[in-house]
A and B are shown apart, each in its own frame.
Chain A
Amino acid sequence: MPEPLPPAEFAALLVRAGIALPEREAEDLRLAHPRLLAMLATLRDPPPAAEEEPAFTFAAGDEA
């Protein structure tokens, strides 16, 4: 499990996302955040294959 980000770095992340939380809740979130980072790491290992893309295809009848 990754380590929690330093408080100042985590606070900057929240500001960038436009999120304002009470101090206690922000600290609680900072401590939970490594679990999200651990999940995110799994998305890139192994790297997605080239054909795996969020594609959109027109269906029959869409031209009408």
Chain B
Amino acid sequence: MIPTIAEAARRIAAKEVSPVELARDSLARIARLDSSLHAFIRVTEERAMQDAKAAEERQMRGALRGPLDGIPFGHKDIYETGGIPTTAHSAQLRDHVPARDGFTVRKLAEAGIVLMGKLATHEFAFGGPSRDLPWPPAENPWGAGHFTSGSSSGTGAAVASGMVLGGTGSDTGGSIRGPAALCGIAGIKPTYGLCSRAGILPLAQTLDHAGPMAWTSEDCALLLAVMAGHDPEDPASADRPAPDLSLSREWRGRRIGVIRHFHEQDNPVTPATLRGIEETAAIFRGLGATVEEVTLPSLHEFYAAGWIILSAEAFAVHEQRMRETPMLFGENLRGRLALGGLVSSADYLQAQRRRRTLIRRTAEAASGFDLLLTAAAPGEAPRIDDVPKWASLEKPNFTVPFNMLGWPALTVCTGFGEKNLPVAAQIIGKPWQDGLVLAAGHAVERENGHRAKRPTVGEMKPG
């Protein structure tokens, strides 16, 4: 039985389980599963046992640092870890060993997490899935050979399979919420400015967000409480009081807006995904909230401006590498960055101007609503080898709008589709309402019952 972070924390506090036992369970699971899932780029076994023993010592003397103390954890391999290689899943950084931890890595270490290792990502959070990199792509624990989505692919696979209880992700166009959806876990892209990105390798700075991924929304709240906070080293970090992350909320009187045109017209989702959204809306109604339809600008408008901003900023980040060592990138990333290099300065500025319009129009349309609801992904995971190189140009995704807006957005599992793979919904809040978003996810997970089912990875069959 794999515990949630909240359950493990209660058992650690009650001295019913030792952090060393949890770390050994995690290492055993990694040894058994990761040769097929490829969620880890590097397992830090020695560091894990050192962290676990230190947590156990605090447990024994009643000096636990909080609910994350002794929890097996992994960092996406774009989070810089002092003394531990941080590769971005790329030959470009195969030998990159940061001198110090990034801000959120340091805060999580101070909270007592047990670092199990560094997790797979799409190359530099933009390139996958790719088979021409130094490490293979992560695979979905719910189906061998299936896509995890990306870019926080390793975190999605490692959390879903229980190799870690929580992990970090980053989200520039959906890289937390996409893998959370296809891997059947929870993941929140917080409000822009809530979590520092200092010490995280950038992709596109005006869209980049850092955030947690875990089995439940409750666990994401525990992680976000530690990851959030002002950091002068991140120019986008907001200096404001920590948000209220309590999960106990009154739902009567709340208004939920379903962005039906996103998932029914702009990019129609599968029947299972649609059913999950409808059931989620029904849960909110059952809790006493009012659920109504809301119309935002079209997904296509968001996506065009968002993709142009993302790809142009990504090219700017990697311009020197693209000129000097382009062949050290995988083919997918090299092509995507090259396309970003063809965006002119006028194009980029028009996209930023359109972004301003979209933010204004969305704020007007969403006025009076507490939360919004739509899809997080169109359906179940495809096979990795069926994901086209230019998939991101084919259809608009459901996540980019909230990177453009900077609003908090959470993926929650809403059930399973025809292939018995997870489907998900996305719950969105107003800026700094991260706590309300997580409380909504927590309420939905409690009502829909889908947190009881884990993937049976050992019994995976080729899909």
Question: Which A residues are within 8 Å of any B CB, using their own CB?
Answer: 13-14, 17-21, 25, 28-29, 32-33, 35-36, 39-40, 42-44, 48-49, 52-54
Expressed in whole angstroms, the Cα–Cα distance for A28 and B349 within the complex equals 27
Contact B350 A43 (CB under 8 A): yes
Contact B342 A33 (CB under 8 A): yes
Question: Which B residues are within 8 Å of any A CB, using their own CB?
Answer: 300-301, 303-305, 307-308, 319, 322-323, 326, 331, 334-335, 338-339, 341-343, 347, 349-354, 356-357, 360, 389-390, 393-394
Expressed in whole angstroms, the Cα–Cα distance for A13 and B248 within the complex equals 56
Contact B341 A25 (CB under 8 A): no
Contact A53 B354 (CB under 8 A): no
Instruction: Write the nearest CB–CB distance from B287 to chain A, whole angstroms.
Output: 38
Q: Which chain B residues border A14 with CB–CB below 8 Å?
A: 338, 341-342
Residue of A18, A25, A40, A44 near B331 (CB, 8 A) is A25
Say whether chain B's binding surface is mostly helix, strand, loop, or mixed.
helix
Q: Which chain B residues border A36 with CB–CB below 8 Å?
A: 308, 339, 342-343, 393
Instruction: Write the nearest CB–CB distance from A36 to chain B, whole angstroms.
Output: 6
Q: Which chain A residues border B394 with CB–CB below 8 Å?
A: 35
Q: Which chain A residues border B307 with CB–CB below 8 Å?
A: 39
Q: Known contacts being A19-B326, A28-B335, A29-B338, is A40 close to B354, with CB within 8 Å?
A: no
Instruction: Write the nearest CB–CB distance from A16 to chain B, whole angstroms.
Output: 9
Say whether chain A's binding surface is mostly helix, strand, loop, or mixed.
helix
Report the nearest A residue to B298, measured CB to CB. A42
Contact B341 A17 (CB under 8 A): yes
Q: Which chain A residues border B339 with CB–CB below 8 Å?
A: 29, 32-33, 36
Contact B338 A35 (CB under 8 A): no
Contact B347 A20 (CB under 8 A): no
Q: Known contacts being A20-B326, A21-B326, A29-B339, is A42 close to B349, with CB within 8 Å?
A: no
Q: Which chain A residues border B304 with CB–CB below 8 Å?
A: 39-40, 42-43
Q: Which chain B residues border A20 with CB–CB below 8 Å?
A: 326
Contact A48 B389 (CB under 8 A): no
Contact A32 B390 (CB under 8 A): yes
Expressed in whole angstroms, the Cα–Cα distance for A35 and B351 within the complex equals 16
Instruction: Write the nearest CB–CB distance from A23 to chain B, whole angstroms.
Output: 13
Expressed in whole angstroms, the Cα–Cα distance for A14 and B315 within the complex equals 13
Report the nearest A residue to B352, measured CB to CB. A54
Contact B335 A43 (CB under 8 A): no
Q: Which chain A residues border B350 with CB–CB below 8 Å?
A: 40, 43-44, 48
Contact B341 A18 (CB under 8 A): yes
Residue of A18, A25, A43 near B354 (CB, 8 A) is A43
Report the nearest B residue to A35, measured CB to CB. B393
Expressed in whole angstroms, the Cα–Cα distance for A52 and B393 within the complex equals 26
Report the nearest B residue to A49, measured CB to CB. B357
Contact A13 B353 (CB under 8 A): no
Contact B347 A43 (CB under 8 A): yes
Q: Which chain A residues border B353 with CB–CB below 8 Å?
A: 48, 52-54
Q: Which chain A residues border B360 with CB–CB below 8 Å?
A: 52
Contact B301 A42 (CB under 8 A): yes
Q: Which chain B residues border A54 with CB–CB below 8 Å?
A: 349, 352-353, 356
19 A-B pairs in the complex with CB atoms less than 8 angstroms apart: A14-B338, A20-B326, A25-B335, A29-B338, A32-B339, A32-B389, A35-B390, A35-B393, A36-B343, A39-B307, A39-B308, A42-B304, A43-B308, A43-B350, A48-B353, A48-B354, A52-B356, A54-B352, A54-B353
Q: Known contacts being A20-B326, A28-B389, A29-B335, is A52 close to B341, with CB within 8 Å?
A: no
Expressed in whole angstroms, the Cα–Cα distance for A25 and B393 within the complex equals 16
Contact B341 A19 (CB under 8 A): yes
Expressed in whole angstroms, the Cα–Cα distance for A54 and B355 within the complex equals 9
User: Which 6 A/B pairs are nearest by Cβ-Cβ distance?
Assistant: A39-B304, A17-B341, A35-B393, A48-B353, A43-B350, A52-B353
Instruction: Write the nearest CB–CB distance from A46 to chain B, whole angstroms.
Output: 9
Report the nearest B residue to A53, measured CB to CB. B353
